[in-house]
Every structure is written in C-alpha cells, then in structure tokens.
Amino acid sequence: METLNPVFTLRDVGVILAGREILAGLNVEISKGAATFVMGRSGSGKTTFLRILNRLNECFPGCRTTGEVLLHLDDRVVRTYDDELPLPELRRLVGMVFQHPNVLPMSIENNIAMPLVTVHGFTRGQAREAARMALEEARLWDEVSDRLGADARTLSGGQQQRLCLARALAMNPQVLLLDEPTSSLDYTAAKGIEELLTSLKGRYTMVVVSHGADFAVRQADDILVLRDKTIHGRLAPRDIEGSDSALRERLESF
Ligand SMILES: Nc1ncnc2c1ncn2[C@@H]1O[C@H](COP(=O)(O)OP(=O)(O)O)[C@@H](O)[C@H]1O
Ligand SMILES: [Mg+2]
C-alpha cells in the first residue's frame, strides 16, 4: 500500500506485547499532509498502531517491535527503530494526543511551557510566547487567557483535550497522532474538536483513531481498517458514504 508522498513507510512491522502478537505484517505508507483515519473494533490494535509511529509501545517492558519503520523528513529518511533519530526528537516531530486528556497537575500555561523549558531548552519568555501561540492555534486562548495560572485540572474535558493538543502543537511537530480525540467528550465539545481538526488539516499530517464513520467521512483522506492483527483494507471516505452501506454499518457497530 504505497502513496506518492509518504511521511511514514512501514515494512513488515509487527508488535509483541506481554508475549502476545498484537499486530503483524503491517505494510503501509502514510501520506504526508493527509488525514489518515485508523478504524477497527475495540482491541484490534488501533492505539498500538499509533504507538508504533512514536515508539511509545517501548514504554511497556517486554515489548518487541519487528520490521522497519521509515520516517521521511524534509532532507533525509530515517529508520526510527535503528536510533537514527534521538527519541526526544522523534517524539517532538510526531506528537500524540491521548484518548483521555492527560493534563499535568500544574497551571494551564505550564502544561505547555514546562516541557519546552525542561526538554527543549527554551527560555521562560520564549516558552510563554510559544504557549500563547499554541493556545491560539488550539482555539483555547480566548477561554483561558485571563487564567493562565489556574490549575489545568479545573478545565472542562473539551478544554483539557485542546490543551493537550496545544502542548503537542507547541513542539512544532510534523505529524499529529490523535487517539479517539472526541470519544470522552459530550456532543458540543466533540464538535469543537472536530472543527479544530478541520482547521489543522493540510498544515499537519494527522493519523486519527476513530470509531465514528461519520467523523471519518467528513475528515479522512484515507482510512485504514485494522482486523486480525493487520491492515485488512484501505478505504477512501466515499466508500463508506451513504446510509445503506453495509460496510459503514459494520464499521459503526464496533
Ligand atoms: N501494554 C500492553 N500490554 C499487553 N497487552 C496490551 C498492552 N496494550 C494493549 N494490549 C493489548 O493489545 C491489543 C490491542 O490493544 P489496543 O491497541 O489498545 O486496541 P484498540 O486501541 O484498537 O482498542 C488488546 O488485546 C490489548 O489488550
Ligand atoms: Mg485504543
């Protein structure tokens, strides 16, 4: 499954967690600048698939990733699992927003500024400016600009999700991994996140795990379906458009 302008190339990639093969035989390219959706039933390995791309599966003891993952940068191609890119740099370039917002127990501003200072050597002033820009990009600035010192845990679920997205954006990533970004939110908050994703489309390569066929039809350029430990199919949004599609029903019944 090749594309013209890939950002990632996976060659025969597999993941073993706790002695169990979770994913195997993944051969796929992810297009640069596109929104690629990953769908499949619960437990099919969607989150594990995202974690391949930023090497986060390796946080689990005993995890083994096999095969080859190539990341296509502007000036070169690196094999991420051969340590051709330092891990902090890979995680900066490939930002991730988790299914449940993981805000840090500190102020709204420091949720973004602190990692920039401690990991990336920003001055305090640079980090504050970057935080403001990221909050604007994540469409949160107007809601929090008068209480940047407040504890981030006092924000609503949708605001926390946007804060986590702002934290990833502040790192100036090339790829955003979004794991079911609207699943823990109510209708209005989910709609807000979807509008935000629309505004980010084209500017970032996005890999989005989603359960909702409607969401995918509206937002995806490309849909990967995981089943039986591997990529079972690749669909264009038009394939699942229309209310009478059996495929669409199957996708939504997960
Ligand atoms: N850290 C882990 N250790 C062991 N097994 C795991 C771990 N994370 C996920 N799994 C297993 O891998 C499979 C795929 O999980 P996951 O990628 O979370 O699926 P999905 O996101 O599609 O629901 C599940 O069977 C799950 O139990
Ligand atoms: Mg998951």
Query: Quick one: pLDDT at residue 146?
Result: 97
pTM above 0.85, yes or no: yes
User: Where does ligand 1 bind, in terms of residues with CB under 6 Å?
Assistant: 17-18, 22, 40, 42-48, 60
Query: Quick one: pLDDT at residue 178?
Result: 97
Q: Whose CA is nearest to atom 27 of ligand 1?
A: 43
Which atom of ligand 1 lies closest to the CA of 40?
22
- Structural domains of the chain in order of their starting residue, each with its CATH number: 6-252 (3.40.50.300)
d(CA 84, CA 104): 30
d(CA 221, CA 44): 21
Nearest alpha carbon to residue 210 among 174, 176, 166, 178: 178
Which atom of ligand 1 lies closest to the CA of 41?
22
> Higher confidence at residue 233 or residue 72?
72
CB-based contacts of 62, cutoff 8 Å, min separation 6: 16, 17, 18, 19
Query: Quick one: pLDDT at residue 200?
Result: 94
* Top mutation candidate among 37, 48, 51, 254 for ligand 1, by most atoms within 8 Å of CB: 48
> Higher confidence at residue 93 or residue 4?
93
Report pLDDT digits (tens) over 17-48: 999 999 999 999 999 999 999 999 999 999 99
Report pLDDT digits (tens) over 114-157: 999 998 899 999 999 999 999 999 999 999 999 999 999 999 99
